[in-house]
Structure 1
Amino acid sequence: MKWLRNAVVDIAATLVIVAWVAQNWSWAGWAVWVYTPLMLVLKAAALGLGRLLGRANRGDVPAWFYHGVYAANVALLVYGAQFAGPQSQSNRWILAAMWAAIWVLSEAARQRARASMESS
């Protein structure tokens, strides 16, 4: 369970998304809008620069955990988009798509790292 310390930011991001979807708190919406594009850029950079950056030590966080967190984030935002007003509905669909892209990029980076470790 030591890996939970390395997953605190991901858990916090999911809790902020829950707060935004469930309570519609504006601060949570701003936090999600700032964090999500940043995370997307970082995941894309990690995939593109994976060999240059080397293997990041993630404390052996299991892959199933990230699949669960990213799936929850996408599901929460899709759920929130169903019940949001017309103005924020499209915004939540965009965020859900961004989290789906983060999920795909994370898995691609993980598979690339595994393949490079096996070949060396």
Structure 2
Amino acid sequence: MSWLKDVIVDILATVAIIAAVLSSNIFLKGLVWGYTGLLLFVKLLVYFGDGFMNMMNKAKTSAPDWFTHLLYATNTGVLLYFQWWYAGAGWGIIWLISYLTQQEIDQK
């Protein structure tokens, strides 16, 4: 369970997403939109930028893959359920790019 410290930001993001869709707090909504955009940008940069793939390989955590998939599925599902269509689509793309990036790293 020492890998939990590696995914604390991901867990906090999921908590923030759930809190944002359940409340009308403008700060939480801005946080969700900002983090979604930032993470989407970084994931795209890593996947399509050849030099950044090695950084991801070095930054690999000891967290099991199923946990990351569970968090991304939760984020995507919650956002889509509460009809945050664009944010949900963003998290779906983040999830897909993360999976493709991991597949590419594993092949090397």
> Common fold, TM-score beyond 0.5?
yes
Tell me by how many angstroms 1:58 deviates. Answer: 2.9
Corresponding position of 1:69: 71
| 2:98 is equivalent to residue 110 of structure 1 | no
Tell me by how many angstroms 1:23 deviates. Answer: 1.7
Corresponding position of 1:52: 51
Corresponding position of 2:89: 97
| 2:15 is equivalent to residue 23 of structure 1 | no
Q: After TM superposition, what 4+ stretches of structure 1 lie above 6 angstroms from structure 2?
A: none
Native 8 Å contact 1:6 1:58 kept in 2: no
Q: Deviations over 1:48-72 (max 9, x none)?
A: 23x5231133321111011100000
Please, what is the CA RMSD of the aligned residues?
A: 1.1
Tell me by how many angstroms 1:24 deviates. Answer: 2.4
> Which stretches in structure 1 are left out of the alignment for 5+ residues?
82-91
Q: Deviations over 1:5-27 (max 9, x none)?
A: 01011000000001111122211
Distance in 1, Cα, partners of 2:74 & 2:24: 17
Native 8 Å contact 1:2 1:59 kept in 2: no
Identity level (%): 32
Distance in 2, Cα, partners of 1:58 & 1:4: 13
Native 8 Å contact 1:47 1:109 kept in 2: yes
More off after superposition, 103-112 vs 16-25: 16-25
Tell me, what secondary structure is at the counterpart of 2:62? coil
TM-score, structure 2 normalization: 0.91
Native 8 Å contact 1:78 1:96 kept in 2: yes
Q: Deviations over 1:45-97 (max 9, x none)?
A: 11123x5231133321111011100000011101111xxxxxxxxxx100000
